[in-house]
Amino acid sequence: MEFQQDNNKMSPCQQGDDGFWKLLTSKNIELFNHTPNSPDLTPVDFWLFPQLKSQLAGMKADTENEVKTAVQGFGADIMKERVYSPMAKWHKRMAKWHKRMAKWHKRMAKYVDVHSN
């Protein structure tokens, strides 16, 4: 299990807070440090984590693998919804645009000598 924290100086979960850090390290929870209030965390904090929390709410897991499987399934759903589906729609729009441009080029070729210098 991994625990991500933001190194915020106002956070009570600093390394000096012996109780919290001792608990995490005693449970073999790996800690990752990064810059305080990192802007890189904002999209995840405000978009992905709340969705993940609601997806996993009420889930009863007996093993870490069950949690991993649930999170991976959630990740696959997000990729389909947020990446693959929009890309497929974009591809269809571009294919239609390409057909329109081919028709336009064919019509314009009648009026413009494309081979002259």
The model's pLDDT over 58-76, given as tens digits with 9 standing for 90+, comes to: 888 889 899 889 988 888 8
Would you say residue 56 lies in a domain?
no
Judge if 32 and 73 occupy the same domain.
Answer: no
Judge if 1 and 37 occupy the same domain.
Answer: yes
- pLDDT at residue 4 above 70? no
Q: What is the model's pLDDT at position 5?
A: 54
Would you say residue 114 lies in a domain?
yes
Long-range Cβ contact pairs of 3-12 (< 8 A, separation 24 or more) = 3/29, 3/30, 3/31, 3/32, 4/32, 4/34, 5/31, 5/32, 5/33, 6/34, 6/36, 6/37, 6/38, 6/41, 7/33, 7/34, 7/35, 7/36, 8/36, 8/37, 9/36
Q: What is the model's pLDDT at position 10?
A: 47
Would you say residue 53 lies in a domain?
no
Judge if 67 and 114 occupy the same domain.
Answer: yes
When mean pLDDT is compared over 18-27, 33-42, 65-74, the highest value belongs to 65-74
Domain extent, residue 36, equals 1-46
- pLDDT at residue 86 above 90? no
Judge if 5 and 40 occupy the same domain.
Answer: yes
Would you say residue 52 lies in a domain?
no
Judge if 41 and 70 occupy the same domain.
Answer: no
- State the average pLDDT for the chain: 76
Task: Say how many domains are in the chain.
Answer: 2
Q: What is the model's pLDDT at position 37?
A: 59
Would you say residue 93 lies in a domain?
yes
- pLDDT at residue 93 above 90? yes
Q: What is the model's pLDDT at position 116?
A: 58
Q: What is the model's pLDDT at position 26?
A: 84
Judge if 34 and 84 occupy the same domain.
Answer: no
Judge if 66 and 40 occupy the same domain.
Answer: no
